[in-house]
Amino acid sequence: MTAQAPAGYTYGSTPPSPVTPDEFEKLKATVLLTADDEEALRMAGDVLEDQVEDVLDVWYGFVAAHPHLVAYFATPDGAVLQDYLARVRGRFGRWILDSCRRPYDGEWLSYAHEIGLRHTFDKKNRTDDAPSVPHISLRYMVGFIYPITATMRPFLTKKGHSDEDVERMHQAWFKTVTLQVALWLRPYSPEKW
Ligand code: HEM
């Protein structure tokens, strides 16, 4: 990965994920993630590399347009924390490219677990020392899969790829988002996971 690491980005130095290799393989098989998808994600990384800020503008616009979502970037009284939004944005951008380009190995799995923790009572706010609400409701984690997937498609069409390749990249993106949200849900309820 090139470019300076975003503030609070600790990829490569997080404790191992409690998810076992066998659980991980079965989860990948469940979302039908194949070697072809991994190749399509590499292609998507090249397509998205110089569009990350535009993608983030769309996603942040979506959050800003919904008071019940922007509340998670605000104090319990509802004051939106611009510094917190900005710091998380840097990591969010890196995550887009990590999802496309990183090998899904033990290090990747560890950081996936860390991202899950950062959405919950365990670790939300801690990375940025933000005085925000302490936890993101599980239902919105699942609900977010749709906008994070659907809004990506127009960006995947922008570099002149065939309809078939755009579809491959989009399906692979959908699969990795679903896979990751499934991993991120472990901290919400380890015993039920
Ligand atoms: C953090 C992605 C759901 C609010 C993050 C990060 C990523 C991400 C990549 C940065 C992780 C890091 O620290 O490196 C996603 C995706 C979601 C999802 C792909 C579902 C498909 C949500 C929802 C909300 C939300 C529903 C509520 C509005 C936040 C907040 C942080 C964060 C507040 C900062 C957490 C902290 O304090 O460290 N998210 N997220 N996310 N996300 Fe999400």
pLDDT digits (tens, 9 = 90+) for 85-96: 999 999 999 999
Question: How far separated are the first and last CA of the chain, in Å rounded?
Answer: 31
Ligand 1 centre from 158 Cα, in Å? 26
Using the predicted structure, report yes or no on whether residue 125 has a pLDDT greater than 70.
yes
Cβ–ligand 1 contact at 174 (below 6 Å): no
Single-letter amino acid, residue 6: P
pLDDT digits (tens, 9 = 90+) for 8-21: 999 999 999 999 99
pLDDT digits (tens, 9 = 90+) for 50-85: 999 999 999 999 999 999 999 999 999 999 999 999
Cβ–ligand 1 contact at 60 (below 6 Å): no
Cβ–ligand 1 contact at 31 (below 6 Å): no
For residues 17 and 35, what is the distance between their CA atoms, to the nearest angstrom?
A: 23
**Cβ proximity of 83 and 128 under 8 Å:** yes
Position 40 scores a pLDDT of: 98
Look-up of token digits 């490219």: 97
Position 53 scores a pLDDT of: 98
Position 4 scores a pLDDT of: 85
Taking domain 21-188, whether its CATH number is 1.10.3210.10 is answered by no
Across the chain, what does the average pLDDT equal? 97
**pTM score above 0.80:** yes
| Secondary structure in 3-state letters for 13-64 | CCCCCCCCHHHHHHHHHHCCCCHHHHHHHHHHHHHHHHHHHHHHHHHHHHHH
Supply φ then ψ for residue 74, to 5 degrees.
-130, 170
> What's the ipTM?
0.98
Atom of ligand 1 minimally distant from the CA of 95: 9
Ligand 1 centre from 84 Cα, in Å? 11
Position 56 scores a pLDDT of: 98
Cβ–ligand 1 contact at 95 (below 6 Å): yes
Position 193 scores a pLDDT of: 98
**Cβ proximity of 179 and 149 under 8 Å:** no
